[in-house]
Amino acid sequence: MRKEQKTAPAPVVALYRYAHKRSGRFTGGITYRVKASDWTPTNRHTYDVTLFRGNATSCTCPARGKCKHKEAMESNEQARRDNAPLNGNAPFSLLNKRAS
Ligand SMILES: [Zn+2]
């Protein structure tokens, strides 16, 4: 079923993505800095969304519970995982190179 959209919701724009590391090792935590809906070049209002293993655990916006920033960054992380180069059933090229 096609969903009709009366007004397109403003997409959440991520400015930065930080991978949390401790002693050089990735801890599973990611923080995104996203533009607030009232962001303008002269009012650079941002929020920080933190995810742990793909689940958004916090956002610094005033909303309680599941806000649009958390949802947007969770789907962003999911998309990154789906597009990761080692994902899928691609042939392992190193074996082919050695065989030749
Ligand atoms: Zn939020």
Q: Residues 5-49: pLDDT tens digits? A: 567 777 899 999 999 999 999 999 999 999 999 999 999 999 999
> Could you tell me the distance, in angstroms and rounded to a whole number, from the CA of residue 96 to the centre of ligand 1?
47
The answer, yes or no, to whether residue 57 has pLDDT greater than 60, is yes
Q: Which residues of 46-72 are buried (b: 16+ CB within 10 A; e: fewer)?
A: bbebbbeeeebeebebeeeeebbbbeb
Tell how far the Cα of 48 is from the centroid of ligand 1, in angstroms.
Answer: 8
Residue 85 lies in a domain: no
The whole-model pTM stands at: 0.74
What integer pLDDT is reported at residue 100 of this predicted model?
46
Distance, CA 71 to ligand 1 centroid (Å)?
Answer: 9
- The pLDDT score that the predictor gives to residue 91 is 59
Residue 84 lies in a domain: no
Residue ranges making up the domain that contains 39: 14-79
In a domain, 21, yes or no: yes
Interval between CA 44 and ligand 1 midpoint (Å):
16
Q: Is residue 53 part of a domain?
A: yes
Average pLDDT over residues 40-65: 96
- pLDDT over 80 (residue 66): yes
For the chain, what is the domain count?
Answer: 1
**Residue 52, in any domain of the structure:** yes
